[in-house]
Amino acid sequence: MRIPAIHVFILFILVFSACDGSNDDKEAFVADIDLDKIKKRGYLTVSMDNNSTGYFIYRGKTMGYEYELLKRFADEHKLELRIDVTKSLEEAFDKLNRGDTDILAYNLTITEERKKRIDFTIYHNLIRQVLVQRKPDGWGQMHPNAVDRAVIRNPVDLIGRTVYVRYHSAHKSRMESLSNEIGGGITVIEDSANLETEEIIRKVASGEIDFTVAEEDVALVNASFYPNLDVKTPVSFPQQIAWGIRQNADSLQLALDKWLLRMKKEPVYQAIYDRYFTKRHESLNPENEFFTVAGGRISPYDELIKSAAKDLEWDWRLLAAQIYRESKFNPQAVSWAGARGLMQLMPNTAEAHGVTNPENPEQSIRAGKKHLLWLSDIWDDEISDPAERTKFILASYNVGQGHIQDAVALAKKAGYSGRKWDGEVEEFLLKKSKPDYYRDPVVKYGYCRGIETVTYVRNVFTIYNTYRELVPEG
| Whole-angstrom Cα Rg for the chain | 26
Comparison of pLDDT for 252 and 298, the residue scoring more: 252
Confidence of residue 25 (pLDDT cuts 50, 70, 90): very low
**Lowest model confidence (mean pLDDT) among 93-102, 219-228, 303-312:** 219-228
CB atoms within 10 A of CB 82: 12
Among 134, 149, 161, 139, CA closest to 223: 134
**Percentage of the chain with pLDDT > 90?**
69
SS3 label, residue 446? coil
Residue 193: its pLDDT value, please?
A: 64
CA 90, distance to chain mean position in Å, is 20
Q: Indicate if the pLDDT at residue 171 is higher than 70.
A: yes
Instruction: Pick one of 3.40.190.10, 1.20.120.80, 3.40.630.10, 2.70.180.20 as the CATH number of 35-126+241-280.
Output: 3.40.190.10
Contacts of 402 (CB under 8 A, 6+ apart): 57, 60, 444, 445
The answer as to CATH 3.40.190.10 being correct for domain 129-236 is: yes
**218 exposure class (CB count in 10 Å sphere: 0-12, 13-18, 19+):** buried
Query: How far apart are alpha carbons 261 and 407 in whole angstroms?
Result: 42
**Tens of pLDDT along 230-278?**
999 999 999 999 999 999 999 999 999 999 999 999 999 998 988 888 7
CA 130, distance to chain mean position in Å, is 18
Would the pTM count as exceeding 0.75?
A: no
**Tens of pLDDT along 31-62?**
999 999 999 999 999 998 888 788 887 766 78
Residue 1: its pLDDT value, please?
A: 44
Confidence of residue 196 (pLDDT cuts 50, 70, 90): confident
**Domain covering 302-470, topology:** Lysozyme (1.10.530)
- Phi and psi at 104, nearest 5°, equal -110, 105
**Percentage of the chain with pLDDT > 70?**
89
CB 371 within 8 A of CB 28: no
Contacts of 28 (CB under 8 A, 6+ apart): none
Among 215, 225, 124, 234, CA closest to 165: 215
Residue 107 gets the label, from left (phi > 0), alpha (psi -120 to 50) or beta, of left
Catalytic residue set: 326
**Tens of pLDDT along 314-335?**
999 999 999 999 999 999 999 8
Residue 336: its pLDDT value, please?
A: 85
Confidence of residue 296 (pLDDT cuts 50, 70, 90): low
Confidence of residue 9 (pLDDT cuts 50, 70, 90): very low
CB 364 within 8 A of CB 358: yes
3-state secondary structure 261-311: HHHCCCHHHHHHHHHHHHHHHHHCCCCCCCCCCECCECCCCHHHHHHHHHH
Q: Containing H/E element for 44?
A: strand 43-48
Pairing verdict, β 229-234 and 162-165: unpaired
Q: Write out the E strands in 72-228.
A: 80-85, 103-109, 119-120, 125-127, 129-134, 162-165, 187-190, 212-215
Residue 417: its pLDDT value, please?
A: 95
